[in-house]
């Protein structure tokens, strides 16, 4: 019987019903290691996962512009994927090398719970990003006013606490409370939740089914919402463009009419210019008379009250002139200090597009990498005989497990593709490391 596939789907329950190669003790003999091409490919996959997520973490640390509200959720997923690549993948590579679990039963129980928990954190991270984008799309003002880095960190911590609390309880605590002493022929402990059909499907629903429904449902609603908003902006732009075309045609006809009447209006324009000059001359002369009167009154005041009023004598006429002219304009000459700069009430369009692009990539990657697992479990649930026949021909459990693990490798690539700043920072890091 194959090793328990706790990372991707419940173990084969037909093996328990048929009693195939089941024992009540852990084998003490360990198989000799067999180095194969598959083993080196698995090691390469683990190393690549660690390096890719390390570059994302380094970029987040070095580039302060990447430390945005949305990217803290990306940081949470990156840490989880880094742990998958540095712990879970190497251990499964060792299992493949020795063709079985080379450690004791207690270690296998703890590893089962840890693996399920860390994969749960990664899946919960995708769900959190979907929910956050949904709130930002349907409630943009409230979401923008209430979001903060502290809330993003608190939500990220909650994904770890809830995931480890659930999966360690179901995978590890249950096996210690009710030990079954059932192991596979390779020595890997069999979890209690895989012993019944109902609990196995329930655990798989928590792992893939429920997150898949939430992600796809929210993403579809977000997509149509953004599409409707885009159509409204496009129709508004087309109306403005149409109105602008009409205004340009009217202005063109007016210009043509003015060209034909240029000769008749020249005399009138000269008359208006002369009258305007005369009005300006009268205004300046009246202002100068007022300045002179204020100066004379200042002299009288200085003789009676000393030097207190003497400061008015030296007042710059230019200031009075500008004040007189400004007073005629009223509120148009208000100082610029009184202008209030309004803070943005929602996230910018560029930030929203970047977040939506990131969401699209990670949802697509999740569906592609976990779809083989969903197909396998569906086949096992509804067509067990056909599944058993295919399983004997092809190692389904190993293939689906590593395809699901590859989600931790493709996620950082999706971040770099969705956000140019991640890409640029990673290129800088790689360029510096060469020298």
The predicted structure's pLDDT at residue 255: 67
Confidence of residue 344 (pLDDT cuts 50, 70, 90): low
Query: Of the given ranges (59-68, 158-167, 321-330), which has the lowest mean pLDDT?
Result: 321-330
Read off the pTM: 0.69
Given a cut of 90, whether residue 79 has pLDDT beyond it is yes
Residue that is written with structure tokens 């006429």 in the block:
317
The pLDDT of residue 294: 46
User: Residues 216-226: what's their mean pLDDT?
Assistant: 91
The mean pLDDT value of the chain amounts to 74
> Once rounded to an integer, what is the mean pLDDT over residues 10-35?
47
Torsion angle (degrees, nearest 10) of CA 77, 397, 11, 22? -140
What is the set of domains in the chain, with CATH numbers?
Answer: 14-236+348-433 (1.20.1070.10)
- Tens digit of each residue's pLDDT (9 = 90 or more) over 387-418: 777 777 776 667 888 898 999 999 999 999 99
Q: Which positions ≥6 away from 3 have C-beta within 8 Å?
A: 95, 100, 101, 184, 186, 188, 397
* Dist. CA 197–CA 380, nearest whole Å: 11
Q: Which long-range contacts (CB under 8 A, 24 or more apart) does 59-67 make?
A: 59/422, 59/425, 59/426, 59/429, 62/425, 62/429, 63/421, 63/425, 65/421, 66/419, 66/421, 66/422, 66/425, 67/149
Convert the pLDDT of each residue in 265-318 to its tens digit.
444 444 444 544 444 444 444 444 544 444 444 443 444 444 444 443 444 444
Residue 127's pLDDT is what? Answer: 94
Token readout for 230 is: 């885009």
């Amino acid at each position: 019987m194959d090793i328990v596939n706790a990372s991707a789907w419940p173990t084969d329950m037909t093996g328990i019903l048929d009693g195939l190669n089941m024992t009540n003790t852990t084998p003490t003999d360990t198989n000799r290691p067999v180095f194969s091409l598959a083993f080196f490919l698995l090691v390469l996959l683990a190393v690549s996962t660690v390096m890719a997520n390390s570059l994302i973490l380094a970029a987040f640390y070095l580039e302060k512009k990447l430390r945005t509200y949305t990217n803290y959720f990306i940081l949470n997923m990156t840490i989880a994927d880094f742990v998958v690549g540095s712990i879970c993948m190497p251990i499964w590579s060792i299992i493949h090398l020795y063709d079985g679990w080379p450690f004791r039963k207690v270690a296998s129980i703890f590893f089962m719970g840890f693996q399920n928990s860390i994969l749960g954190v990664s899946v919960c991270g995708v769900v959190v990003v979907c929910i956050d984008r949904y709130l930002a799309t349907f409630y943009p003002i409230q979401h923008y006013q209430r979001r903060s880095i502290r809330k993003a960190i608190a939500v990220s911590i909650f994904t770890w606490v809830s995931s480890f609390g659930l999966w360690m309880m179901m995978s590890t605590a249950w096996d210690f409370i009710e030990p079954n002493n059932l192991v596979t022929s390779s020595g890997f402990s069999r979890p209690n939740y895989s012993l019944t059909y109902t609990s196995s499907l329930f655990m798989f629903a928590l792992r893939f089914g429920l997150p898949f429904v939430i992600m796809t449902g929210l993403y579809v609603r977000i997509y149509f919402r953004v599409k409707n908003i885009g159509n409204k902006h496009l129709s508004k732009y087309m109306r403005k463009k149409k109105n602008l075309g009409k205004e340009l045609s009217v202005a063109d006809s007016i210009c043509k009419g003015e060209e034909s009447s240029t000769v008749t209006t020249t005399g009138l324009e000269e008359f208006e210019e002369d009258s305007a000059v005369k009005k300006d001359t009268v205004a300046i002369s009246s202002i100068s008379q007022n300045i002179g009167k204020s100066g004379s009154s200042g002299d009288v005041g200085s003789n009676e009250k000393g030097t207190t009023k003497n400061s008015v004598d030296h007042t710059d006429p230019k200031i009075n002139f500008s004040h007189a002219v400004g007073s005629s304009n009223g509120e148009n000459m208000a100082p610029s200090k009184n202008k209030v700069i309004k803070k943005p009430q929602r996230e910018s369009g560029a930030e929203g597009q970047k977040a939506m692009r990131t969401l699209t990539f990670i949802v697509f990657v999740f569906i592609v990498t976990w779809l083989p697992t969903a197909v396998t479990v569906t086949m096992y649930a509804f067509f067990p005989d056909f599944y058993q026949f295919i399983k004997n021909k092809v190692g389904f459990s190993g293939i689906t497990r590593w395809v699901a693990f590859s989600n931790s490798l493709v996620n950082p690539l999706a971040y770099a593709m969705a956000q140019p700043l991640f890409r640029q920072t990673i290129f800088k890091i790689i360029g510096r490391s060469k020298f």
